[in-house]
C-alpha cells in the first residue's frame, strides 16, 4: 500500500486531500496541531498532533512512517490575525522541517505555495503585474510576510530537490472555494462594473479579490492537481498554478481589471472571462485542467470530509 504524510490534515484544504487519498486506499498519516475526535476519520488514516516548527517532532513523525509522498499544507493561510514575524517564522520553519524530513527519507513532495508570491493580493497600494495572464515565470514580488514565507518555501523546495534528488511540486492556489459554500457570490452580486466598488462592508475581501484579479479555484481541482503531481514523473522542483479557467464576476476580465485599477499591464493576452492567471505549466507538465466553475459549484451539494 502506498503511504503519504499530509500536514495540516484537519485544515479546510488538506482535509479534502486526506479524504481523497484515504478513499483510494492510501495509508495516510495526518499531522496537524490537534487531533480529531476519537474514532473520527477513515481507518487507514493515522492522525497525529505535532508542532511542525519543532524539528524533532516533525522528523520523527515523518521518518518512522517512511512515506512515498509528503503533502505539506500546514501553514497560517494569510498575513491577517497574527503578527507578521510570527506568520513568516511559522510558515518558513515548518516548511523547512517538513520538506527536509521528506527529502531525508527519499519522499517526493507536493506542497501549498500561494498566488501571493506575486505580491498583488495583499499589497498596499495594489499594483498590476507585468503582463496578463500571469504564469509561473512572472517575477515574484511578495509584499507581505505570508507571501514572503511562500517564496522562502519555494527556495527551500529547490534546495531539498537538489540535495536529495526528489521531485517537489509547489502548488500555487488561487482563492480556494468549496462546493455549495462559495464566497465569490457575495462579491459578484454586489459588484458594479461602472463604479468598481462594493462599499465599506466588503473592503478587505474586495481588495484581496481585486488583487488576484477575481480568480479562484475549486477545492476539488486543488485535490486533482495535487494527485496529478503525485502521479506524473518530473525532475526537481516545479511550480504549478491551481486556478479555475474563468473569473467569478461573469464579466470580461479586462473590463473588470481596468475598472478597478484604471489601467492594464503593457502586455495583455486574455479574452472574455478568461482567468488572469494561467495554469499552462500544469497543463503542459501534468496534463491537468480545472474541471469546476463557480456557475455550477456555488450551489452544488457535495459532502466534505467527515472528520473535520
- Residue 205 pLDDT exceeds 70: no
Strands 131-132 and 45-49 come out as: unpaired
- Residue 116 pLDDT exceeds 80: yes
200 pLDDT band (50/70/90 cuts)? very low
266 pLDDT band (50/70/90 cuts)? very high
Q: Residue range 164-177: average pLDDT? A: 98
Domains of the chain: 3-297 (3.40.50.720)
The pLDDT value recorded for residue 1 is: 62
Q: Name the residue with cell 519543532.
A: 54
Q: Residue range 277-290: average pLDDT? A: 98
The rounded percent of the chain whose pLDDT value lies above 90 is 87
- Residue 204 pLDDT exceeds 90: no
What phi, psi does 104 have (nearest 5°)? Answer: -65, -25
Task: At 118, list the grid cell.
Answer: 506575486
> Ranked by mean pLDDT, which of 132-136, 192-196, 300-304 comes out on top?
132-136
Amino acid at each position: 500500500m502506498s503511504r503519504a504524510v499530509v500536514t495540516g490534515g484537519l485544515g479546510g484544504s488538506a482535509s479534502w486531500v486526506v479524504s481523497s487519498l484515504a478513499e483510494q486506499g492510501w495509508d495516510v498519516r495526518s499531522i496537524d496541531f490537534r487531533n480529531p475526535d476519537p474514532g473520527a476519520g477513515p481507518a487507514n488514516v493515522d492522525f497525529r498532533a505535532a508542532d511542525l516548527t519543532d524539528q524533532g517532532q516533525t522528523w520523527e513523525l515523518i521518518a518512522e512512517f517512511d512515506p512515498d509522498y509528503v503533502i505539506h499544507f500546514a501553514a497560517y493561510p494569510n498575513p491577517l490575525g497574527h503578527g507578521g514575524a510570527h506568520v513568516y517564522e511559522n510558515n518558513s520553519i515548518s516548511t523547512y522541517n517538513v520538506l527536509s524530513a521528506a527529502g531525508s527519507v527519499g519522499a517526493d513532495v507536493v506542497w501549498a505555495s500561494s498566488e501571493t508570491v506575486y505580491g498583488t493580493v495583499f499589497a498596499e497600494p495594489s499594483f498590476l503585474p507585468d503582463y496578463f495572464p500571469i504564469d509561473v515565470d512572472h517575477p515574484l514580488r511578495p509584499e507581505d510576510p505570508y507571501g514572503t514565507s511562500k517564496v522562502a518555501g519555494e527556495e527551500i523546495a529547490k534546495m531539498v530537490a537538489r540535495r536529495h534528488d526528489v521531485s517537489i511540486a509547489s502548488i500555487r492556489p488561487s482563492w480556494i472555494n468549496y462546493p455549495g459554500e462559495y464566497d465569490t457570490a457575495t462579491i459578484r452580486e454586489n459588484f458594479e462594473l461602472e463604479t468598481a466598488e462594493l462599499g465599506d462592508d466588503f473592503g478587505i475581501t474586495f481588495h484581496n479579490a481585486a488583487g488576484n484579479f477575481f480568480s479562484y479555484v475549486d477545492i476539488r481541482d486543488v485535490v486533482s492537481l495535487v494527485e496529478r503531481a503525485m502521479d506524473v514523473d518530473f525532475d526537481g522542483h516545479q511550480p504549478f498554478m491551481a486556478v479555475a479557467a474563468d473569473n467569478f464576476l461573469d464579466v470580461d476580465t479586462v473590463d473588470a481589471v481596468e475598472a478597478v485599477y484604471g489601467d492594464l499591464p503593457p502586455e495583455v493576452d486574455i479574452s472574455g472571462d478568461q482567468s488572469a492567471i494561467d495554469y499552462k505549466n500544469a497543463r503542459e507538465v501534468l496534463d491537468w485542467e480545472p474541471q469546476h466553475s463557480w456557475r455550477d459549484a456555488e450551489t452544488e451539494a457535495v459532502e466534505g470530509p467527515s472528520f473535520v
